[in-house]
Structure 1
Amino acid sequence: MDPDAARELKARILERLPSAVEASALPGERDAPWPWVAVGLSPTGDGARVAVRLQRDGDRALLPDLGRAAAAQLDVRVIGPVRPLSSPGALQRRVRPLRPGLSVAHGSVSAGTLGGFVRTASGLAVLSNNHVLAASNAAIVGDAVLQPGPADGGTPADRVATLAGFEPMVAGRANLVDAAVATLDEGIDADPGDVPGGPLGGTVPDGLDVDPDEVVEKIGRTTGHTSGRITAVEVDGVAVQYDEAVYRFDDQIEIEGAAGGFSAGGDSGSVIWRSRDRAPVALLFAGSETGGASGTGVTFANPLATVLATLDAEWFAG
């Protein structure tokens, strides 16, 4: 199917979903068996199909009747609940200088991943998720960021950075990013280019040109260096169960692991890069434990260009 035609079909599905799906964005529902439907684009050799992701098999009943021809253009998969990957090797200990992939977190959070480094108005800063560095909106600018995170033994003596900014996540509307930055404290050294395979590219693509089976990699606090492939883009309606609320995200990227899972709890905040040119393309923030070709779950990530524009930051490859 032509990509533009696939986008039109995606829009038709989103317009005709029942109101019950919208309830998934409301707070206080994280333990309820509420339905949700996320819809994006899955690249094919000659165009795209419409990727439909469901929490439960029974949620298929929510899909509108599109007719036989349109239904044949759908890639429907059940992936289970999606949660932020921030719950508890070598990447989990205290490490100096700082580098991508290490355990990091706000003092009230368990542990996530130091994704990479960016330039901001306040100087060189670490990049990760809101729910890792800013405690899912609960922190205030100026709070301490620890390396390693508290789940890995981090204490106030392990302070490495100061929370400088984050994009608030809001229930009841679509969010685009789960992201935050923390400026390095004086005397804290960093080695941004210390990434498996060498430094990442210095340019972040404005848009993600996805070839079929685009291969990507990441390094995260829990699962280390893994590879996978992008399986869907422009995914709208991804409902993520945080501790305090359910937040919905639009325009997300879906990734499956090449051999088993691509990520696990604690990998939140990892920067994902394309293998073919080492261009950083996404910021990992959530995933499921089931679904995907291997049955071990799928990962969701914010487009990195959107993250940087939202935080008014510039990628720093080192």
Structure 2
Amino acid sequence: MLSSSLKDVQAEIFTEVFGFSEVASATIVSGTHEYESTFIDPILQSRAEPAEPRAQSSIRTDIALGTVPTERDTDVRLAVLMQSEDLMDSAALARIRAIAHDEVEVIFIGRQVATWTRTRQRPLRIGSSISPISAGYSGTLGFFARSNASDKIGMVSNNHVLANVNGHPVGTRIVQQADGDGGRSADAVGVLGDYVPILFGGLPNSVDAAFAHLDPQIGYDAVNMFGNGNPPPTIATLKRPSSVPALPGLSVMKTGRTTGHTRGRVRAINVNNYVVNMGANRLARFDGQIVFEAEPGATQAFSRAGDSGSLITDLEGSPIALLFAGSTSGGQGNLGITGGNPISLVLRQLNLSWI
């Protein structure tokens, strides 16, 4: 069928099969993204609290609709993505097939859950999402440390994650999961305690780093790094302090909010005049940095936006750097280059010790 016809088919399914309500076209804002919507689910819209885990399948929440191509360039088919096997032989699917004149491709996708890095974690885990309250974005919790000045235990991430590039005062509440991932005041875990100001105007920076004091009642795991999966598997135990030199070619890994657990390698060290756009075209120069790329043969980038603040270690868990910047092109496989502050500089500039 034509794309225009598929749009009408989806509209009929939304109203007849799902029972959605049609509304005037409106722009829905979600974070920094906007999209057009003409159908809403009146049941989900009315929920003030998160829904309980699903005990049985629901047509409204277990069937997604999309588009897949056909052999002809001008034609498309309706993709019916099913989260529940209970619905694979249902009257609802039969009616969807009829409305689409059987021009469908049914795809079983299983239960969909948020990647653990983007959800609430108690105890707190290295690699989970974090941000100031009401920040509108997400970053990554890098690691846990102790302040040599106050003796307080806290979380380390970037200045641009915890302080929004010098923009938040000490004492700002920090939430996990991040505000950009749905974190609210009930998800507060600490307060911004200190950050190294980022300098502009061509002045050299050594780190993009900040420290947030943990609330005393919040549990945390300062030792383990976790991989991909729900629940996440333990993949390494941090070896602190690190004695591994960051030499070009060294294999490394990280777990971050956006791309989860990935591997890469050191591309270059002692990188000076590494200029980073910190937002609003504010360019900051960094000296003495380490740059990383995806490992040979990789198909996934080592990092993407939202992974800022991740702890980069070698494959045995020895800390190497604090991830703070990256590009979407260049490097191995043209998958992008990632910038990291040497971990020794982060600890020194924030006056921290490992715990």
Instruction: Determine if the TM-score, normalized by the shorter chain, exceeds 0.5.
Output: yes
Look up the match of 1:56. Answer: none
Q: Is the 8 A contact 2:246 2:320 kept in 1?
A: no
Contact 1:284 1:299 in 2 (8 A): yes
Contact 2:247-2:269 within 8 A present in 1 as well = no
Gaps of 5+ in 1: 1-88
Q: Distance in 2 between matches of 1:212 and 1:175?
A: 22
Matched, 1:311 2:350: yes
Contact in 2 for aligned 1:238/1:248 (Cα 8 Å): yes
**Aligned equivalent of 1:240:** 276
RCO greater where, 1 or 2, for CA within 8 Å and sep 6 or more?
1
Q: Which amino acid in 2 is paired with 1:310?
A: Q
SS at match of 2:329: coil
Separation of aligned partners in 1, 2:307 and 2:163: 16
What are the within-5 Å matches in structure 2 for residues 3-152 of structure 1? 89-107=115-133, 108-120=135-147, 121-152=150-181
TM-score, normalising length: structure 2:
0.62
Larger Rg belongs to: 2
Partner residue in 2 for 1:78: none
Count of equivalent residues: 225
Q: 1:292 aligns with which of 331, 336, 341?
A: 331
Q: CA deviation at 1:139?
A: 0.7
Preserved CA contact (<8 Å) 1:99 1:193: no
Q: What is residue 218 of structure 2 aligned with on the other side?
A: 188
* Corresponding residue number in structure 2 for 1:270: 310
Retained in 2: the 8 A contact 1:193–1:199?
yes
Per the alignment, residue 111 of structure 2 pairs with none
Aligned equivalents of 2:129 and 2:345: distance in 1?
Answer: 24
In 1, are the aligned partners of 2:325 and 2:338 still within 8 Å (CA)?
yes
The verdict on how the C-alpha distance between 1:122 and 1:144 changes in structure 2, with shifts beyond 3 A counting, is: farther
Conserved? CA contact 1:204–1:315, under 8 Å: no
Please tell me the residue identity of whatever aligns with 1:204: S
Letter in 2 for 1:234: N
Extract unaligned runs of 5+ from structure 2. 1-114, 227-234
1:250-302 deviation digits (Å, cap 9, x = unpaired): 11101001113100110000001011x42101000000011012101110000
Does the C-alpha gap of structure 1 residues 248 and 308 become closer, same or farther in structure 2, counting only changes over 3 Å? same
Cα offset, 1:209, TM superposition: 2.4
Structure 2 Cα separation of the partners of residues 185 and 122 of structure 1: 13
Runs of 4+ with deviation above 6 angstroms: none
Look up the SS of the partner of 1:264 in the other structure: coil
CA change 1:99–1:302 in 2 (3 A) is same
What is the rounded CA distance, in whole Å, between the counterparts of 1:178 and 1:212 in structure 2?
Answer: 22
- Partner AA of 1:224 in structure 2: G
Deviation at 1:192, TM superposition (A): 1.4
- 1:163 and 1:122 map into 2 onto residues whose CA distance is 15
* CA contact 2:253–2:263 (8 Å) conserved in 1: yes
In structure 1, the residue matched to 2:65 is none
Contact 1:229 1:255 in 2 (8 A): yes
Partner of 1:44: none
Q: Alpha-carbon deviations, 1:197-217, whole Å to 9, x = none?
A: 232101134xx6244521001
Is 1:159–2:188 an aligned residue pair? yes
Q: Percent identity?
A: 41
- SS of the aligned residue for 2:225 comes to coil
SS in 2 for 1:218: strand
The aligned amino acid for 1:284 is L
Structure 1 distance, partners of 2:125, 2:152, is 16
Mean Cα displacement is larger for which, 216-225 or 100-109? 100-109
Question: In the aligned structure 1, how far is the partner of 2:199 from the partner of 2:246?
Answer: 29
Question: Following the alignment from structure 1 to structure 2, what is the Cα–Cα distance between the partners of residues 115 and 216?
Answer: 15
Q: Distance in 2 between matches of 1:305 and 1:212?
A: 17
- Answer yes or no: is the 8 Å Cα contact 1:223–1:267 preserved in 2: yes
Q: Name the counterpart of 2:293.
A: 256
1:179 aligns to what?
A: 209
In structure 2, what is the Cα distance between the partners aligned to 1:217 and 1:287?
15
